[in-house]
């Protein structure tokens, strides 16, 4: 049997470093041409496999593949597309196997979050029973940092760094203007289900009075009275109040703060962010001048200020996925293991996919300060190494020179998929 090809796909929301994992996969596969064939990347993630739209990465120059290491977004396209369960749509899984077989694909490397690891797990199980075994390896990725077992998820460290730097910088701005102008600044960050990203903003505060003064986490039900009291206290004590609010903050009744029942002049529902809601509350109850920012995609695409640790880990996980695949390891997700000891160290580990699939890791209670508005030293100890180091992309005319691949598709061999 000829050397088998690798199928690699990016899944779910992209990050500043998911392409660094792709870079690790492709560069490592190229180093092992005696053992593996080509790397085919799914165009728009798993859809690329279903639609037999396979990008032939061997057509890309060495330089451009190296450039993936510092290019944000998903170079081959990603997708928000969750495969149904095997029971609901066995045909989809059979289609995957059919495509893999048609293109001599022996390795399925899936780069994504919890749903993606679940898919990888199902593919690994099904392929065996269908007589076309494929080596399935998951590569973790999610800015939300919510995958279990792995010490952290590539993508998170860079968002964390961006958020901490941004609130530090904006805090200095507000502090210098507060006497006659804006007294409260609110920055909204991602994290619909967990507060990892918002918590990272806390790293910016090293001394009393430093921004942020308040972090609003999804894990802590929003208490209006306590919150307003704290805002007022900070303005009176420090002259200003800088707030990081997670998009996932909820009222005690479970409703999102962001879902504020806003309507525009035409009576349409306005899907506002959490930041403007908090701002409005402060204005109406405390009458402080405010400003707010919503970082949205800026935070997860901010490759210009990515964490070096994050980039290195993302690359190393992609590399390890290929090495483990060649070794015949199957149905695992590669992980980051934190070494014990006073100095931060890490190595690559692994865990069975079945242990990862559909399990979400929450921000531990011991990482949240007593008053619910800050982070503990234990949290800082966990987070700090993840944002360490800078890894600047190359610049030309003042702008980062991100690469754009040719993305040439492999010739199709099958009939088009008929979707139901």
Distance of closest approach, residue 43 Cβ to a second copy, in angstroms:
9
Q: What is the H or E stretch that residue 121 is in?
A: helix 114-129
Q: What is the largest CA-CA distance in the chain?
A: 75
Distance of closest approach, residue 400 Cβ to a second copy, in angstroms:
6
Count of residues touching a second copy (by CB under 8 A): 86
Cα 320 from Cα 335, distance rounded (Å): 9
Nearer to a second copy, 76 or 324 (CB): 76
Distance of closest approach, residue 368 Cβ to a second copy, in angstroms:
21
| Interface with a second copy (CB under 8 A), residue from 61, 85, 89, 181 | 181
287 binds a second copy (CB under 8 A): no
Nearest to 17 by CA among 389, 418, 396: 389
Number of neighbouring beta carbons within 10 Å of residue 225: 8
Structure tokens at 139: 């590569």
| Interface with a second copy (CB under 8 A), residue from 129, 208, 225, 268 | 268
Number of residues assigned to the chain: 420
Interaction with a second copy in 195-234: which residues (CB under 8 A)? 203-204
Identify the sign of the CA torsion 71, 76, 81, 87.
negative
Distance of closest approach, residue 54 Cβ to a second copy, in angstroms:
16
390 binds a second copy (CB under 8 A): yes
Interaction with a second copy in 15-54: which residues (CB under 8 A)? 16, 44, 47
- Angle value at C-alpha 146, between 143 and 148, nearest 5 degrees: 135
Stretch that binds a second copy, among 20-28, 107-115, 116-124, 280-288 (CB under 8 A): 280-288
Structure tokens at 333: 């997700």
Interaction with a second copy in 321-350: which residues (CB under 8 A)? none
Q: What is the H or E stretch that residue 338 is in?
A: strand 332-338
Respond yes or no: is residue 144 known to be catalytic. Answer: yes
187 binds a second copy (CB under 8 A): yes
Cα 251 from Cα 242, distance rounded (Å): 21
Cα 30 from Cα 36, distance rounded (Å): 8
Q: Which entry of 144, 146, 151, 310 is annotated as an active-site residue?
A: 144
Neighbouring residues of 221: CB distance < 8 A, sequence distance ≥ 6: 250, 251, 252
Distance of closest approach, residue 382 Cβ to a second copy, in angstroms:
13
CB 15 within 8 A of CB 154: yes
Interaction with a second copy in 50-109: which residues (CB under 8 A)? 71-81
402 binds a second copy (CB under 8 A): yes
| Interface with a second copy (CB under 8 A), residue from 34, 87, 88, 179 | 179
Distance of closest approach, residue 329 Cβ to a second copy, in angstroms:
28
Stretch that binds a second copy, among 26-34, 107-115, 212-220, 303-311 (CB under 8 A): 303-311
Positions marked catalytic: 144
């Amino acid at each position: 049997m000829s050397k088998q090809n690798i199928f690699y796909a990016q899944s779910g929301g992209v990050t500043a470093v998911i392409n660094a994992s792709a870079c690790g996969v492709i560069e490592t596969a190229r180093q092992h041409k005696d053992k593996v064939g080509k790397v085919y990347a799914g165009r728009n993630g798993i859809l690329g496999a279903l639609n037999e739209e396979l990008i032939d990465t061997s057509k890309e120059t060495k330089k451009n593949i190296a450039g993936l290491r510092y290019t944000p977004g998903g170079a081959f396209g990603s997708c928000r597309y969750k495969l149904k369960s095997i029971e609901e749509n066995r045909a989809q899984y059979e289609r995957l196997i059919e495509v893999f077989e048609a293109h001599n694909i022996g390795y399925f490397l899936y780069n994504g979050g919890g749903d993606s690891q679940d898919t990888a797990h199902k593919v690994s199980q099904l392929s065996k029973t269908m007589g076309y075994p494929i080596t399935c390896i998951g590569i973790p990725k999610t800015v939300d940092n919510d995958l279990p077992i792995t010490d952290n998820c590539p993508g998170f460290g860079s968002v964390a760094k961006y958020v901490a730097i941004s609130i530090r910088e904006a805090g200095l701005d507000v502090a210098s203007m507060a006497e006659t102008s804006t007294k409260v600044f609110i920055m909204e960050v991602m994290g619909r289900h967990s507060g990892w990203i918002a918590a990272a903003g806390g790293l910016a505060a090293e001394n009393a009075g430093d921004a942020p003064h308040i972090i609003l986490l999804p894990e802590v039900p929003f208490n209006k009275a306590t919150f307003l009291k704290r805002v007022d206290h900070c303005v009176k004590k420090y002259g200003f109040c800088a707030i990081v609010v997670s998009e996932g903050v909820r009222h005690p009744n479970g409703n999102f703060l962001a879902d504020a029942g806003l309507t525009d002049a035409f009576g349409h529902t306005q899907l506002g962010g959490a930041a403007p809601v908090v701002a409005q509350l402060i204005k109406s109850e405390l009458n402080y001048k405010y400003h707010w920012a919503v970082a949205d995609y800026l935070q997860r695409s901010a490759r210009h200020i990515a964490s070096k640790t994050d980039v290195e880990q993302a690359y190393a996980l992609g590399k390890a996925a290929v090495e483990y695949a060649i070794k015949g390891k199957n149905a695992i997700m590669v992980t980051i293991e934190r070494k014990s000891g006073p100095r931060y160290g890490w190595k690559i580990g692994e865990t069975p996919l079945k242990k990862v699939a559909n399990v979400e890791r929450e921000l531990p209670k011991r990482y949240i300060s007593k008053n619910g508005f800050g982070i503990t030293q234990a949290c800082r100890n966990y987070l700090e190494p993840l944002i360490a180091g800078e890894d600047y992309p190359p610049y030309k005319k003042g702008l980062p020179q991100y690469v754009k691949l040719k993305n040439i598709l492999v010739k199709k061999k099958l009939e088009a998929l008929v979707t139901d």
